[in-house]
Structure 1
Amino acid sequence: MLRQQDVGHRIVVRRIVGIREGRPLFSDALGELVELSETHITLATDGGSLRVPVGEVHRAKRVPPARRPTAAAVIALETAADEAWPAPVRGRLGDWRLRSAAGWTGRANSALPIGDPDRPLPEALDAVQRWYADHGQPALVNTPLPLAAPVGAELDTRGWTSRPPVLVQTVPLATLTTPGRAVGTPHEAVPPTHASTGGDAPPVTLARAPADDWLAVAADRKGGLPEAARHVLTAVDRIRFAELRVDGRPLAVGRGTVTGEGRWLGVSLLEVLPEARRRGFAGAIVRALAGWAGAEGATHAFLQVEQTNGGAVALYRRLGFTTHHTYLTRVAP
């Protein structure tokens, strides 16, 4: 049967749809697992969302994705993601990237093993551990899968553990800015600009620098904002900080960057305050950033989400995101 680790992946479900002459009748459904609860399995199929009561499930399992991304595609997207979340202290080990940001977030404090480290794999991992020891930090390695599976295998032999899997998800910008839902901002808007959310919802404001209360929401989510964090958040050339305010208070925020040779909108730090959830504010933030990024020439969006975060995975699926690849953050013993 399925586990929470399967959320965000392609599955097949055989369900019982009736009884004929004393025998059960079955129907199969294929799609991406959006939510797994004690009572229901929800998957996104080509025909739309399907919610199956657990009592009707005869068998369910994960199946291979329809098409695996090429190594070049994974490297290109991981490179864009690295540019969108820039650590202030950086090093290189051949093509591998070493990153440090005073321990703020795993992404900015881990080695990224893409490409050739210019030495045998065991020696490369020894060098990674020395680099982080020199910087007074525990060694972490992000392993995009299946690209970095050999790295993961070597780390297994060394007793490294893993944090929860992270889904790297993508969507064409056109999906986020379909007619009737499109929002955007002028290409060269210098002051904060506004984008309509549709209906009676407040507009989304996009700014080139984060307001203090925007940073306060991010700090609350991430457990503080050291100086290194401010570098990670702001040291990108093409960037917008989105917020949706009610009575002067930000109820929803998000961060957007354009990297990867101008192709990719990176969506990060999407947060809606608990009292404002289920009102479409998160989608409004994402679509506003998509409108801006499209005007900048970007064609696709990406984000990263832990696959155990079922609510966020379900939200992104409704917006059109699908899983491109996954990665594990490996932790030295």
Structure 2
Amino acid sequence: MLGPEDVGHRVVVRRIVGVRDNRPLYSDTLGELLEFGSDGLTVATSEGPLRVPLDRVSAAKRIPERRYGTAALERVASLAWPAPEVDRLGDWQLRAAGGWTGRGNSALPIGDPGMDLPDAIDAVRRWYAERGLPARINAPLPLARAVDVALDGRGWDRSPPVLVQTARLADLAADTPADGPPVRLDPTPTPEWLAVAAARKGGLPPEGYQLLTGPERVRFATVYGDDEPIATARGAVVSGFLHLSLVEVAEPARRRGLAGLLTRTLAGWAARDGAHTALLQVEDHNHAAQALYARLGFTTHHSYVTRTLDETRAGSAPEPDDPTGAVSA
């Protein structure tokens, strides 16, 4: 049987769901143990939190932590940052969002494109050219190493690596300070929140607003100072993952722990919503952000590079991608 020491770990619970012919009927539930008390336990499942009274528990035990592959995490991140236009090239995704952000306007080369690799690369070029956008491919490494190598020597610029990091939500939510400034969580972004995002990204077209608000479960976090936002972040829950993005702290408010406060507050919301793991992207050269996320418990799962071919600007460097960023805590 489980106990309070198992909170935060992955468990399986066999519960009684009914009786037939004087025999109990059972159902097994997998997830992360959120709460354990004298009257019952709560498990974060893929469909949300499930409360089970103790008198309905037939058996329960801790099980090994799950392991996620690169393809699964990249698809989750794509759903959490959903481009308004998505097309398919075999298993590959082609995404467009009016040019707003790198990930929103790039191909995700996971799986079989349904044709030879050189032909697939040409198809990506044509698809983005038809939309007046630079051809861009986000290549997760080492999964898409063959794609990355094939683009060498073809005129495609290569961005610095971006790290994809994860952390257990139970650990993040447990460290939420009780005495920090209030964090406002909104299901839709306020005009003030949008102004911060637009300033960071050089504008906000309608496609950008669609991307930000696209997930079914999303929250826009804000800390105010003198009626103005001094710290903002976005969190979206997809398939049990909290995807964190656009963490921003105003220069005068930095080094006060606000980035960590936003992250932990969104983690608490996501955990209550049944999520189990936090996911974010941070640039390899952003050492301050990496130090912050390391303190919060994030570790690197894999990396990706953005390959860009802008045939209207020969030799130009790719525009910056849109990882979580992070500002000094």
Bin for the TM-score computed over the shorter chain: 0.7 to 0.9
Find the aligned partners of 2:131 and 2:203 in 1 and give their Cα distance: 21
Residue pair 1:202, 1:246 contacting (<8 A) in 2 also: no
- 1:310 equivalent in structure 2: 287
Select which of 138, 156, 175 maps to 1:142: 138
Could you say which residue in structure 2 is the equivalent of 1:275? 252
Q: Which amino acid aligns with 1:264?
A: F
Q: Give the counterpart of 2:166 among 157, 164, 170.
A: 170
Q: Is the contact between residue 168 and residue 326 of structure 1 (CA under 8 Å) also seen in structure 2?
A: yes
Q: Which residue of 2 aligns with 1:331?
A: 308
Matched, 1:253 2:232: yes
Q: Percent identity?
A: 56
Contact residue 160 and residue 330 of structure 1 kept, 8 A = yes
Distance 1:160 1:208 in 2: 38
After superposition, give the CA deviation of every residue in 1:170-214 in whole Å (9 maximum; x if it has no partner).
001112022xx24xxxxxxxxxxxxxx433x31111110111001
Which residue in 2 is equivalent to 1:227?
A: 206
Determine the C-alpha separation between the residues in 1 that align with 2:78 and 2:122. 22
SS in 2 for 1:104: coil
Q: Please list every run of at least 4 consecutive aligned residues from structure 1 whose deviation after the TM superposition is greater than 4 angstroms.
A: none
Residue 119 of structure 1 aligns with which residue? Answer: 115
The equivalent residue for 1:80 is 76
- Tell me the TM-score normalised to structure 1 length: 0.71
Unaligned runs of 5+ in 2: 1-65, 315-329
Quote the residue 1:151 is aligned against: 147
Two-structure CA RMSD over aligned residues (Å)? 1.4
Aligned to 2:52: none
Are 1:289 and 2:269 counterparts?
Answer: no
CA distance in 1, matches of 2:262, 2:81: 19
| Preserved CA contact (<8 Å) 1:88 1:231 | yes
**Separation in 1, partners of 2:244, 2:91:** 25
Letter in 2 for 1:115: G
1:322 paired with 2:299, answer yes
Asked if the contact 1:177–1:291 (Cα under 8 Å) also holds between the matched residues in 2, the reply is yes
**8 Å Cα contact 1:173/1:290 also seen in 2:** yes
Q: What secondary structure sits across from 1:169 in the alignment?
A: strand
How does the TM-score come out when normalised to structure 2?
Answer: 0.72
Deviation at 1:106, TM superposition (A): 0.5
Matches within 5 A, 1:64-79: 73-79=69-75
Please name the residue that 1:194 is paired with.
none
> Partners in 1 of 2:230 and 2:247 — Cα distance?
11
Distance 1:74 1:137 in 2: 27
The alpha carbon displacement at 1:313 in A equals 1.2
Matches of 2:119 and 2:125, distance apart in 1: 10
Partner of residue 95 from structure 1, selected from 64, 74, 91: 91
Gap regions ≥5 residues in structure 1: 1-68, 183-196
Report SS of the residue matched to 1:157.
coil
SS in 1 for 2:110: coil
The offset of 1:305, in angstroms, is 1.0
Residues 69-90 of structure 1 show CA distances to partners (whole Å, capped at 9, x for unaligned) of 98x7111100000001111111
Q: Post-superposition shift, 1:284?
A: 0.7
User: Helix, strand or coil: the match of 1:97?
Assistant: strand
